[in-house]
Each structure stands twice: as structure tokens, then as C-alpha cells.
């Protein structure tokens, strides 16, 4: 049998417009039948020449203009409805999603707006710079003393938010299959952008040393030492020297210069605090080409990536062999290369362009998940069990997201190879607490046959396995899909990697900053006219959004499992997720000429800025009603960022204070949306502020309060309750090192 798209048979009605049409694109590429709908009085007629980004999101879809009678019929036959009418508008009243919800209780409704529909900010306006500002991401981008730097990608906050929206929608659909009841999701683009691009209270990379992003400010010089970008003969390279073994590889590669052989340089803190070391590496690289340095670095175990331009990245053998792009007719005489799917399912690129003509019957039940016991805590993934072997950020976030939505997530780990995000086996950092809440931990040594046998017994009673090891490691540990499918044919295995499982770069180590360099993003993240001002150092992008793509795809395959009985393999390449976010730019989109009142402007206070983005003449006129004839920069300089934002947004002008991360929990919007919560972790040094609500919906509760575990903290509980071992058997396995508990 050929490739069976996981969402085949799922029907989606899409009333959305603008950048959030990216949600429908994600669902269509996973096999759903997505119909863009023009509904009289609610949406505009389908334009013959849509904006390029929208055309990319809509390719392969057949739009439909419907009258009220057709609309009622379509609603009765649909599984998912997506809409983004403006809050308070005539269109919102005419559509009346609450009436639709009452009339069609099985329908999953994704109601999208910039700021949600349940608070006083519902009428505020967003743009890409405004979203970057209000998520706090912008405060970490750029060089101190200069205006913050808006990251590349004209619709990046919307695209990452779309991944979050798709995850939440899929979790409700999966639950609908077993309960018969859908839900109405009040999704705010700002929430999705904050949680999914570079979350200030989420997990951060190993270079942060466990320090959460909310405790970091722009420090461009210090950041250059974490993932240094080094000038070389024909451009720049970026290297990673976080691990001790990586440093030893660099030391050997450089010929072991005496001034750096002191054992103190084994300490990451010492290396990061040594400008002399960075200068020496610079001298070492100066007369070598990017290609030479990449090859030599990889040979010495030093993760190394050339800083490529976007055109160079697209011409690499890796991108070519992987077949991410295809020339597509975008209508109105436009043809352009577009991504044809950013995830692989069962070895096939999941795309509407690669699907067969076969369409499955509409999913109507859940014979597998429907038989699972539920805790009745109001969470859509209750009864689902996930084995989490993931590490660092993308590994942490994928499992945490599923745990927040109700799955029983069991983290399998071992003290010989602990998750690099831990930092300590006896305490829990803020960033670890953020990434591993709502998980249980069992310590198992997978290197031996006994440990693998225990893990395989857990696989027998699980639904999903998450991995993001270096290539070949999962297979060596017996935790790859080929092995696990023989144990449990219904298992879904998600693998996340830097560049994908095939191609000449498949074996490359994939730290986010190196992937950004190789994908052309780092080269774009510079101040205009200043090509060496690389400013993508603090951000954790694309780990968090890649995690969403993995979680979304896993749930989609679980939907398929309900009709086929078998699971599948999911593979996500982080570099391809990033390139998909630049699809419009790659296709040749020409940015609109900004108005005079578009940019970052200084405000009253230290390192205080505001994004003001008048989109057109109407916005310019509204802005003038607020500031009169005064120069905009002079006006903003007299106001605090929040005061200026309030005045401008009240007039309908998109504006956003450039918040620092620590500002977010107390801002009225995030308080109203219950975005954050505080916890006192028994193994943490101080109270942690963590993300809270994932889904604003009628039937879904806030995430559970289970705290991130120490390594092996629930080993006895899991071994007893799931594996059926006696206390004596558990003690014996612990004594021989097959199992581990916290502190042993």
C-alpha cells in the first residue's frame, strides 16, 4: 500500500485570511481536505491575485463561494472550522461562532484573533513588529545602544503561532473522535507567538546554563562567545564549543596552543569568559575557507556551520537532495518554488502535492483511544501515553506540550547520558522546570539488553515515542521505529533532527544557532547595511516551533491509527521548518514600502522602545489624531512604552511596547489570559514563573500542576504500576544499575 496521509477524510472549512491561513496549509499537507470559503457578508470574495504568502498557503486548494443554504450543509459535514473575523466587527456578529457551536456540537472551531476575544484588548491591532515586541523576543534581538532588530521573515510570529494553533486544534479533534464533542478555541496570535517563537519563560539552550531567558538582557558581546561567528577567508563560520569534548576537539584542531591547555578551560564558564580564546580561534580560521572549516570541524568533533546567504542555502546539496521545494502555479500567472511539506510521514514528504487521489472515509470514532481510561480532568489527551527520550529544547517541548494537554508523559533517561538541559542531577533549574513539567521520570540504562527489554515493555502500552538523538543512536538503543513497530504496530515514533534523516548533512550535529547559519537565517538577521552584525544569538528559534510540528504530526498519525490500527514514523527537520517560514521571500515577495510611521522608536526610560506600524493612510491619519503635528520619535520619547501603546492602540494604530521578559507576567493582557503561573519547586533555588494556559476553550482545563522530576524520581512508581515489578525485583535492578532512582 502507498502513503496514506494521516488526516485523509478530515474536512476543514477555512474562512481565515491573511498570514494565519498558514494553519490550513499545515492541515492540508497532513492530508486534510481544506476548503477556503467565501461566505457572503463574512469574508471577502476570493481574490484572483492573492498576496504571495496567502497564495503559497492556499496552493492546491479549491476555494468555494457559498450561500447560507450551502453553508449549513457544509457545517454539518465538516470536522474543523477555522475563522478569523475581526472582534467586534459585523462579520463576527454575522458568523456567530457561538451559535455554530450550539448547532454543531461535534465541530472543532478554531476562532483566531490577534489578542483573543475574551478581554479588553480584543480590538487591538497586531503586525509582525508589534507581535515581536509584545512577546519580549524583540528586546533580546540587536545590539545594546541601538534600536532592537526585527528578525527576518515578514510573517514569522504568525507562522509559529499557526503551528501552535494547529496543535491545539488537532488535540481537540483527537478527543472529539472518542467523545463525539468538539469545542470552540479562542486562539490569540499573540499567545501563540509568545509561546512558540522564543518563549521567555520556556526552555533555553544549554549555553544558557539553566538561566531562563527572562533573566537575560541584550548583551551582544557576551552572546558572540556562546555560539561564536568567526570571519574566515570567504565569509563567516559559526562554531559550538559547549561540551567539554567539543572544546578538546577544538584544542586538538588548533594544535594545542599552550596558553589554552590549562584544565580550567574545560569549564564552559571559563571559555565563555575568555576574549583571548575567541581571538585565537579567529586567527586560526582567518586563512581557511568556510568549506574547509566545516569539513575539518566536523572531523574533529567540533560542530561547525558556514554562515550562508539564503540563496546559498537553497543551492546546497542537502536542500536539493531532500526535495523540499517544487515549482508551483500560484495563480494569476505566477509560478514560484514553494515548500511542499515540512514533515515526513513513513518516509514520505507529507504534502498536498504528493498525496494520492485516495481519500479515506470521514473519521467517526476512536476504537483505540476510546477504550482508554480517562481521569476526567478536562484535558483532550487523557489516556494517551508518551515515552519521551527527547533532549535539550525541542525534545523537552514536544513532550511537555503533550503532557500539558493531558497525556501521561514518561521521560526515559540515564545518569550516564543525562539530558543536557538538566545541568544537575540534584536540583532543577528554571529552564528545566519549564520544559519538563507534567512528566514522570524513569531511569533506565538502555545500553544493556535488560534495560532495552524494560523500555520495550513500556512501548507495548504506549502510543507515542519521542526522540531527537544523533543519527544512528535510536537504532543502536533499539528505540527506532523499525524496531518498535515489531513490538507495538500502533506506536507512533517522532524523530527530530537538524537537517533530516537523509542527505549529505544527515549526520551533522544540530544546535539551533548552527542550523540557522546553514539555512540562511543568520545572514538575514543583521542591521540594514551592516552585514557583520549577526543578532540571532539569544533566540532559541526554531526549536519550539519544530516541537509543535512534531506534536501536531504525531497526533495526526494517531487520528489515522483510529481507522487503520497502525502507527507510523514522523520525521521533522528543523532547517526545513525555518526555510518554510521564508517561503514568501524565497518565492520573490517584494516587501511593501513602509510608511513614515513604521519602525522602532525610543520611549521614556532606560532601553525603552515602542514598535509603531502605521500600515496605510488610514492608520497615518489615526496616528495624527493622537500626536498632532509633533515628530513621532519626539512624541514617543515623552511617553513610556506602555502609555504610548495604549494611546495609539485606542486610536486603531498597531503599536507595541518592546517588553523585556520580566515585564510580561504583570501586563494586564497576559494576566487576563492566565498566561503564566508561579510555582515553588522542591528542588529549585527560588520560585519559578512558568507558562500556564495552552488552550482557551469551553471544555479544556488549565494544564496540570505536576512539577518537573529529578532523574528517576518516579522509577519505582512506574516500574511497579506499569511494568508490574515487585519491590524486590525493583531493588535488584537498581542494585545492578539497570534501573535508577533519584540519588541512586
Write out the DSSP string of 577-605: HHHHHTHHHHTTPPPPPPPTTEEEEE-SS
Cell numbers standing for residue 622: 489615526
Mean local confidence (pLDDT), 338-360: 90
pLDDT of residue 121: 98
- The yes-or-no answer on residue 114 being catalytic is no
Is the separation of the CB atoms in 316 and 326 below 8 Å? no
Cell 513588529 belongs to which residue?
Answer: 129
pLDDT of residue 217: 58
Find the length of the chain. 744
3-state class of 365 per DSSP?
Answer: coil
Of 79, 114, 191, 543, which one is the catalytic site residue?
543
Exposed / middle / buried, residue 319 (Cβ in 10 Å: 0-12, 13-18, 19+):
buried
pLDDT surpasses 70 at 401: yes
Strands 64-66 and 408-413: unpaired
Cα 105–Cα 169–Cα 86 angle in degrees, nearest 5: 80
Instruction: Assign 510 a pLDDT band (cuts: 50, 70, 90).
Output: confident
- Which distant-in-sequence residues (6+ apart) come within 8 Å of 676 by Cβ? 201, 664, 665, 670, 689, 690, 691, 692
pTM: 0.96
pLDDT surpasses 70 at 216: no
Higher-pLDDT residue of 490, 358: 490
Q: What average pLDDT does the structure give for the chain?
A: 93
Mean local confidence (pLDDT), 336-351: 95
pLDDT of residue 508: 86
pLDDT of residue 517: 96
Of 56, 64, 67, 69, the C-alpha closest to 29 is 56
Cell 484572483 belongs to which residue?
Answer: 48
Neighbours of 255 (CB within 10 A): 8
pLDDT of residue 191: 98
Greatest mean pLDDT among 164-178, 225-239, 268-282, 360-374: 164-178
pLDDT surpasses 60 at 218: no
Sheet holding 598-602, edge to edge: 598-602, 609-613, 655-657
Task: Give CA–CA dist 419/186, Å, rounded.
Answer: 35
Task: Give CA–CA dist 577/575, Å, rounded.
Answer: 5
Catalogue all structural domains in the chain, each as residue range(s) with its CATH number.
11-113+151-197 (3.40.50.10540)
pLDDT of residue 420: 85
Is the separation of the CB atoms in 404 and 703 below 8 Å? yes
The DSSP bridge partners found for residue 573 are 497
Lowest mean pLDDT across 28-32, 168-172, 208-212, 280-284: 208-212
Helix boundaries (H) for 120-198: 128-134, 156-179, 189-196
What DSSP element (H or E) covers 467? Answer: strand 464-467
Task: Give CA–CA dist 612/600, Å, rounded.
Answer: 6
Helix boundaries (H) for 345-476: 392-404, 430-436, 449-460, 473-476
pLDDT one-digit tens code per residue, 551-610: 999 999 999 999 999 999 999 999 999 999 999 999 998 887 787 899 999 999 999 999
Higher-pLDDT residue of 225, 295: 295
Is the separation of the CB atoms in 370 and 87 below 8 Å? no
pLDDT of residue 353: 86
Task: Give CA–CA dist 235/288, Å, rounded.
Answer: 10
pLDDT surpasses 80 at 136: yes
pLDDT one-digit tens code per residue, 40-56: 888 877 666 789 999 99
Q: Within the chain, what is the greatest distance between any pair of CA atoms?
A: 81
Instruction: Assign 275 a pLDDT band (cuts: 50, 70, 90).
Output: confident
Amino acid at each position: 500500500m502507498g502513503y496514506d496521509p494521516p488526516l485523509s477524510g478530515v474536512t476543514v472549512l477555512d474562512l481565515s485570511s491573511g498570514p494565519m491561513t498558514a494553519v490550513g496549509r499545515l492541515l492540508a499537507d497532513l492530508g486534510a481536505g481544506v476548503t477556503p470559503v467565501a461566505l457572503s457578508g463574512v469574508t471577502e470574495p476570493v481574490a484572483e491575485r492573492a498576496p504571495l504568502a496567502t497564495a503559497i498557503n492556499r496552493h492546491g486548494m479549491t476555494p468555494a463561494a457559498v450561500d447560507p443554504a450551502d453553508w449549513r450543509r457544509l457545517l454539518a459535514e465538516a470536522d474543523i472550522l477555522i475563522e478569523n473575523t475581526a472582534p467586534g466587527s459585523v462579520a463576527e456578529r454575522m458568523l456567530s461562532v457561538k451559535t455554530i457551536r450550539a448547532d454543531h456540537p461535534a465541530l472543532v472551531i478554531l476562532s483566531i484573533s490577534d489578542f483573543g476575544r475574551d478581554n479588553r484588548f480584543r480590538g487591538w491591532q497586531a503586525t509582525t513588529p508589534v507581535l515581536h515586541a509584545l512577546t519580549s523576543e524583540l528586546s533580546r534581538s540587536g545590539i545594546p545602544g541601538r534600536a532592537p532588530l526585527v528578525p527576518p521573515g515578514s510573517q514569522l510570529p504568525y507562522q509559529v503561532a499557526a503551528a501552535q494553533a494547529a496543535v491545539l486544534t488537532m488535540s481537540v479533534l483527537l478527543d472529539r473522535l472518542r467523545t463525539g464533542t468538539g469545542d470552540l478555541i479562542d486562539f490569540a496570535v499573540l499567545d501563540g507567538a509568545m509561546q512558540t517563537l522564543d518563549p521567555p519563560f520556556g526552555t533555553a539552550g544549554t549555553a544558557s546554563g539553566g538561566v531562563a531567558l527572562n533573566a537575560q538582557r541584550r548583551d551582544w558581546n557576551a552572546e558572540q562567545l556562546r555560539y561564536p561567528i568567526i570571519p574566515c577567508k570567504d565569509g563567516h563560520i559559526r562554531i559550538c564549543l559547549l561540551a567539554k569534548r567539543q572544546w578538546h576537539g577544538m584544542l586538538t584542531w588548533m594544535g594545542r596552543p599552550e596558553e589554552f591547555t590549562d584544565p580550567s578551560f574545560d569549564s564552559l564558564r571559563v571559555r565563555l569568559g575568555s576574549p583571548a580564546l575567541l581571538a585565537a580561534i579567529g586567527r586560526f580560521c582567518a586563512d581557511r575557507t568556510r568549506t574547509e572549516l566545516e569539513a575539518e570541524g566536523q572531523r574533529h568533533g567540533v560542530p561547525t556551520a558556514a554562515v550562508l546567504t539564503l540563496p546559498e542555502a537553497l543551492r546546497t546539496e542537502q536542500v536539493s537532495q531532500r526535495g523540499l521545494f517544487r515549482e508551483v502555479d500560484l495563480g494569476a500567472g505566477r509560478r514560484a518554488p514553494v515548500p511542499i511539506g515540512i514533515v515526513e510521514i513513513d518516509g514520505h514528504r507529507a504534502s498536498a502535492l504528493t498525496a494520492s487521489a485516495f481519500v479515506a472515509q470521514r473519521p467517526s470514532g476512536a476504537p483505540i483511544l476510546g477504550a482508554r481510561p480517562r481521569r476526567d480532568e478536562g484535558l483532550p489527551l487523557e489516556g494517551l501515553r508518551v515515552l519521551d527520550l527527547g533532549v535539550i529544547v525541542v525534545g523537552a517541548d514536544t513532550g511537555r506540550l503533550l503532557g500539558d494537554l493531558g497525556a501521561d508523559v514518561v521521560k526515559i533517561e540515564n545518569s550516564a547520558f543525562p539530558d543536557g538541559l538538566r545541568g544537575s542531577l540534584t536540583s532543577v533549574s528554571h529552564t528545566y522546570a519549564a520544559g519538563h513539567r507534567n512528566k514522570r521520570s524513569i531511569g533506565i540504562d538502555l545500553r544493556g539488553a535488560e534495560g532495552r527489554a524494560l523500555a520495550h515493555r513500556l512501548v507495548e502500552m504506549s502510543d507515542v515515542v519521542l526522540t531527537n538523538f544523533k543519527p544512528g543512536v535510536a537504532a543502536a538503543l533499539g528505540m527506532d521505529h523499525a524496531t518498535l513497530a515489531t513490538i507495538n504496530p500502533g506506536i507512533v515514533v517522532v524523530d527530530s533532527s537538524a537537517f533530516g534523516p537523509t542527505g549529505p548533512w544527515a549526520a551533522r550535529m544540530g544546535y539551533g544557532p548552527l542550523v540557522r547559519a546553514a539555512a540562511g537565517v543568520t545572514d538575514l538577521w543583521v542591521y540594514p547595511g551592516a552585514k557583520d552584525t549577526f543578532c540571532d544569538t539569544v533566540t532559541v528559534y526554531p526549536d519550539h516551533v519544530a516541537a509543535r510540528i512534531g506534536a501536531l504530526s504525531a497526533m495526526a498519525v494517531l487520528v489515522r491509527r483510529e481507522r487503520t490500527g497502525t502507527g507510523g514514523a514522523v520525521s521533522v527537520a528543523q532547517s526545513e521548518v525555518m526555510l518554510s517560514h521564508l517561503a514568501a521571500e524565497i518565492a520573490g515577495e517584494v516587501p511593501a514600502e513602509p510608511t513614515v510611521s513604521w519602525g522602532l522608536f525610543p520611549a521614556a526610560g532606560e532601553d525603552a522602545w515602542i514598535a509603531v506600524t502605521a500600515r496605510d493612510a488610514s492608520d497615518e491619519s489615526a496616528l495624527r489624531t493622537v500626536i498632532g503635528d509633533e515628530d513621532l520619535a519626539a512624541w514617543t520619547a515623552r511617553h513610556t512604552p506602555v502609555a504610548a501603546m495604549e494611546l495609539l492602540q485606542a486610536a486603531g494604530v498597531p503599536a507595541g511596547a518592546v517588553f523585556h521578559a520580566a515585564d510580561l507576567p504583570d501586563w494586564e493582557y497576559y494576566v487576563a489570559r492566565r498566561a503564566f503561573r508561579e510555582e515553588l519547586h522542591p528542588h529549585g533555588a527560588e520560585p519559578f514563573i512558568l507558562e500556564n494556559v495552552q488552550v482557551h476553550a469551553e471544555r479544556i482545563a488549565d494544564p496540570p500542576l505536576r512539577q518537573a522530576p529529578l532523574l528517576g524520581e518516579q522509577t519505582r512508581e512506574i516500574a511497579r504500576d506499569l511494568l508490574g515489578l515487585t519491590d524486590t525485583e525493583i531493588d535488584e535492578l537498581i542494585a545492578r544499575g539497570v534501573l535508577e532512582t533519584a540519588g541512586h
